[in-house]
Chain A
Amino acid sequence: MTSGPGRVLVAVYGVFALAATARAAVQIATRFGEAPLAYLLSAFAAVVYILLTVALARGERRLALAACVVELSGVLIVGTLSLVDSAAFPHATVWSGYGAGYLFVPLVLPILGLFWLRRRAVVTRTGESD
């Protein structure tokens, strides 16, 4: 299992995976018809967070890297769309307004994640250990 600063990252991703999954499940189960697109996006975001939590915890770099890129694109695309065309996103998702409803953590996390993965890659190449 990842140790050191990576643990904090795994903890934050774990919280987001739980929160996003629970939220999407409630939304889809109770009022899917109101905003199918927003709720499907919530579910998609939840899947990405679960993938990232597992990938980071198990040290699967390639999977974590791919998921981080998907997450960053997701938050940038959905964030921009929700500001430009707010009528299309009447119901908030985790990624609306670049994650403003979640203290912008959804925007900062993938950047931190990419930074962390990159740093680890350098450490591995030069043969140093933490």
Chain B
Amino acid sequence: MIGAYSGWLIGAALLLALISLITAIRNRPMGIVLLAGLALIEVALLVQAGLAVTRLSDLEQETATFVGYLAGTVVIPPAAVWWGKAERTRWGPGVIAVAGFTVAVMTGRLLQLWNGTA
């Protein structure tokens, strides 16, 4: 888990949430942009989880919570894709906005735990 990498990830997740919000306000269902964005975030999250797990022994506290957050972040984008396909109205992107924001907050918590500032 590298600070700068996770920082970029938080920024990307927030950007995705913003685009989803705009899509919802424009009253459009999930399109290729949101789908690609979610896929990109998912890959980035898997890389982050891989990096963090290989260096788990560096972590001094709250290992269980940390692993829980890692597992949680990886599950969110697929769930958002499933939901976006099921709900073909503006509320599909509404759910994706929630997912993007959740990923950003959870990655922020991961960083706090990693740096021992929680």
A10-18, A34-42, A43-51, A116-124: which lies at the B interface?
A: A10-18
Shortest CB-to-CB span from B108 to chain A, Å, is 11
- Taking the complex as formed, is B99 at the interface, i.e. its CB lies under 8 A from any CB of chain A? yes
Q: How far is the CA of A3 from the CA of B83 in the complex (A)?
A: 10
Q: How far is the CA of A77 from the CA of B51 in the complex (A)?
A: 42
- Taking the complex as formed, is B114 at the interface, i.e. its CB lies under 8 A from any CB of chain A? no
Shortest CB-to-CB span from A12 to chain B, Å, is 6
- Which of B91, B94, B102 neighbours the largest number of chain A CB atoms within 10 Å of its CB? B91
Q: Is the interface of B mostly helix, strand, loop or mixed?
A: helix
Given contacts A8-B98, A11-B98, A22-B72, contact A30 B91 (CB under 8 A): no
Partner of B91, one of A8, A12, A29: A8
A26 and B68 contact, CB distance less than 8 A: yes
B65 and A7 contact, CB distance less than 8 A: no
Shortest CB-to-CB span from A9 to chain B, Å, is 9
Closest B-chain residue to A8, C-beta based? Answer: B94
A7 and B91 contact, CB distance less than 8 A: yes
Q: How far is the CA of A12 from the CA of B94 in the complex (A)?
A: 10
Size category of the A interface is 10 to 19
A4 and B89 contact, CB distance less than 8 A: yes
Q: How far is the CA of A11 from the CA of B24 in the complex (A)?
A: 15
Closest 4 CB pairs of A and B: A8-B94, A11-B95, A11-B98, A22-B68
Shortest CB-to-CB span from B63 to chain A, Å, is 10
Q: Which residues of B contact A33 (CB under 8 A)?
A: none
Q: How far is the CA of A45 from the CA of B91 in the complex (A)?
A: 27
Residues of B within 8 A of A (CB): 62, 64-65, 68, 72, 83, 87, 89, 91-92, 94-95, 98-99, 102
Q: Which residues of A contact B94 (CB under 8 A)?
A: 5, 7-8
A7 and B83 contact, CB distance less than 8 A: yes
A8 and B72 contact, CB distance less than 8 A: no
Q: How far is the CA of A5 from the CA of B94 in the complex (A)?
A: 8
Shortest CB-to-CB span from B30 to chain A, Å, is 12
Q: How far is the CA of A59 from the CA of B83 in the complex (A)?
A: 17
Partner of B72, one of A12, A18, A26, A30: A18
Shortest CB-to-CB span from B117 to chain A, Å, is 14
Q: How far is the CA of A26 from the CA of B62 in the complex (A)?
A: 9
Can you report 17 residue pairs joining A to B where beta carbons are below 8 Å apart?
A3-B87, A5-B91, A7-B83, A7-B87, A7-B91, A8-B95, A11-B83, A11-B95, A11-B98, A15-B98, A18-B72, A19-B72, A22-B68, A23-B65, A26-B68, A29-B64, A30-B64
